[in-house]
């Protein structure tokens, strides 16, 4: 079991030594007289828990910036046309590009919703990030398709027992307007029976929400509720168009709602995310980036700033969305939903840690580290990333990054010529 010592690093405003044994934090003290296989000098650095991206479609990095400033309908048609060309290899390299970007921006764990589940898992395994890779149900109300998907889901779940513990299988339903109730129920039961995270899109746009009400007589949230699919291990992305009753049922069931502010703004899906209401009702709020085709990057720290700005702006209250809650949203709340011992820098927790270089103009004055990190810095402040006790980025370098850029670029050139 390898040991790693972070020596003299800033933690919650004080200098500390942090000893990592295996994949967990063993000890934290002002000074530790331990020897370790490896020592990292923490001077000029601060440590935070790794950020967690709770909603993305990783391989959509291949579509980044390829079709900008278009009406939603044209944009979607283009995205679908390009996506139809993505084979397993494309998705593998697209996911690697995504993971490279997440590590560079301080993310140590993500929840993915895309196709080619085994290729996604392989990319995550190889790059050392913690990942929750979902099998994605989308049957377009076609019974045969649903059957095929269900068999495939079972097969991949069986395969997933060979994945490292750091890469976990989970279950996704695209959305209730694309997937039959039978499939929603069956996939939800599958997740429940095997103790897996269950994720889906929810009420991303007003039109989809209104159409749902016409089609089912219920809002999307009420639809999930009626099917018994809400709860602490259900992770619903977006949740922008919710009425008071929706907020109540999502809160009472302690469902996780993932806010994807940059994507929501860029696609003009909405910006009045009811953070405070959902939180007060009991829901668990997390942060996501969505895919890079809509948010353009997978930078959770940047999304945290945008969320702070938008909550203050639309509520017309500069005291809305305090910084400490924002940190929880990107760390401890996500760990709670995923049931992992992460999101905090404490003895006994998983060593998913990010080292921040504070020796730059963005961190001066130095009085408010979290304020500077979220509102002033950019994500090049993330210097070193540790996942599961292993250093996966050091001095902003990730092993193999040149090959990833080359391969992803070549594939993107091919697939974007639609």
Enumerate binding residues for a copy of itself (CB under 8 A).
Answer: 61-66, 68-72, 75, 97, 100-101, 104, 262, 264-268, 270-271, 292, 296-297, 299, 302, 306, 308-310, 312-323, 359-362, 364-368, 371-372, 375-380, 401, 404-405, 408-409, 412-413, 416
Per DSSP, the residues of 147-192 read: HHHHHHHHHHHHHGGGS-TTEEEEEEE--TTTS-HHHHHHHHHHHH
CA distance 118 to 133: 9
Contact criterion met (CB below 8 Å) for 311 and 320: yes
CA distance 245 to 304: 27
Q: Judged by CB, which is closer to a copy of itself: 17, or 302?
A: 302
Report, in Å, the least distance between residue 103 CB and a copy of itself: 10
Residue that is written with structure tokens 């899109």 in the block: 201
Report, in Å, the least distance between residue 387 CB and a copy of itself: 17
CA distance 151 to 145: 10
Q: Are strands 130-137 and 167-173 parallel, antiparallel or unpaired?
A: parallel
Report, in Å, the least distance between residue 17 CB and a copy of itself: 24
Q: Judged by CB, which is closer to a copy of itself: 36, or 308?
A: 308
CA distance 301 to 258: 15
Q: Judged by CB, which is closer to a copy of itself: 156, or 267?
A: 267
Count Cβ atoms below 10 Å from residue 22 Cβ, excluding itself.
Answer: 14
Kindly list the distances between the CA atom of residue 123 and the CA atoms of 76, 101, 366, in Å, as whole numbers in the listed order: 26, 13, 38
Q: Judged by CB, which is closer to a copy of itself: 216, or 376?
A: 376
Q: Is 121 helix (H, G, I), strand (E, B) or coil?
A: helix
Q: Judged by CB, which is closer to a copy of itself: 17, or 357?
A: 357
Count Cβ atoms below 10 Å from residue 389 Cβ, excluding itself.
Answer: 20
CA distance 231 to 20: 33
Report, in Å, the least distance between residue 284 CB and a copy of itself: 21
Q: Judged by CB, which is closer to a copy of itself: 262, or 331?
A: 262
CA distance 417 to 245: 46
Contact criterion met (CB below 8 Å) for 84 and 414: no
Report, in Å, the least distance between residue 59 CB and a copy of itself: 12
Would you say how long the chain is, in residues?
418
Report, in Å, the least distance between residue 301 CB and a copy of itself: 9
Q: Judged by CB, which is closer to a copy of itself: 43, or 70?
A: 70
- What tokens were used for 106? 């301080």
Q: Judged by CB, which is closer to a copy of itself: 3, or 416?
A: 416
Q: Judged by CB, which is closer to a copy of itself: 159, or 410?
A: 410
Report, in Å, the least distance between residue 338 CB and a copy of itself: 25
Report, in Å, the least distance between residue 131 CB and a copy of itself: 17
CA distance 119 to 319: 44
Q: Judged by CB, which is closer to a copy of itself: 242, or 308?
A: 308
Kindly list the distances between the CA atom of residue 397 and the CA atoms of 38, 42, 54, 260, 351, in Å, as whole numbers in the listed order: 18, 17, 24, 27, 19
Report, in Å, the least distance between residue 262 CB and a copy of itself: 6
Report, in Å, the least distance between residue 373 CB and a copy of itself: 9
Contact criterion met (CB below 8 Å) for 160 and 191: no
């Amino acid at each position: 079991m390898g040991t790693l010592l972070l020596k003299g690093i800033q933690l919650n405003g004080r200098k500390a030594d942090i000893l990592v044994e295996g994949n967990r934090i063993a000890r934290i003290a002002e000074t530790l007289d331990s020897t370790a296989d490896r020592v990292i000098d923490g001077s000029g650095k601060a440590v935070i828990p790794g950020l967690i991206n709770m909603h993305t479609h990783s391989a959509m990095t291949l579509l980044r910036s390829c079709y900008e400033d278009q009406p939603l309908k044209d944009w979607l048609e283009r995205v679908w046309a390009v996506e139809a060309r993505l084979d397993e290899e494309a998705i593998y390299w697209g996911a690697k590009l995504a993971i490279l970007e997440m590590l560079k921006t301080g993310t140590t764990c993500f929840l993915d919703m895309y196709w080619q589940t085994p290729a996604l898992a392989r990319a995550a395994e190889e790059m050392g990030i913690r990942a929750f890779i979902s099998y994605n149900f989308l049957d377009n109300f076609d019974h045969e398709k649903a059957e095929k998907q269900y068999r495939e889901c079972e097969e991949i779940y069986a395969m997933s027992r060979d994945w490292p513990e750091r890469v976990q299988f989970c279950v996704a339903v695209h959305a209730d307007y694309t997937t039959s109730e039978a499939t929603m129920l069956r996939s939800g039961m599958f997740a429940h029976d095997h103790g897996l995270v269950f994720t889906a899109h929810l009420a991303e746009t007003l039109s989809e929400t209104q159409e749902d009400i016409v089609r089912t007589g219920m809002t999307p949230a009420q639809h999930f509720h009626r099917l018994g699919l809400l709860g602490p291990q259900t992770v619903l992305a977006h949740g922008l168009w919710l009425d008071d009753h929706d907020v109540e049922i999502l809160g009472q069931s302690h469902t996780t709602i993932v806010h994807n502010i940059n994507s929501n703004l860029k696609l003009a899906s909405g910006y009045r995310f009811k953070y405070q209401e959902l939180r007060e009702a009991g829901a668990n709020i997390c942060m996501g980036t969505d895919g890079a085709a809509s948010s353009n990057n997978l930078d959770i720290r940047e999304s945290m700033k945008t969320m702070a700005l938008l909550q203050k702006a639309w509520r017309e209250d500069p005291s809305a969305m305090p910084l400490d809650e924002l940190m929880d949203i990107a760390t401890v709340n996500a760990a709670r939903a995923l049931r992992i011992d992460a999101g905090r820098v404490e003895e006994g927790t998983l060593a998913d840690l990010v080292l921040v270089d504070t020796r730059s103009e963005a961190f001066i004055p130095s009085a408010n580290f979290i304020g500077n990190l979220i509102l002033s810095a950019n994500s090049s402040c993330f210097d070193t990333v540790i996942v599961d006790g292993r250093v996966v980025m050091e001095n902003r370098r990730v092993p193999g990054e040149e090959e990833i850029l080359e391969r992803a670029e070549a594939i993107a050139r091919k697939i974007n010529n639609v």
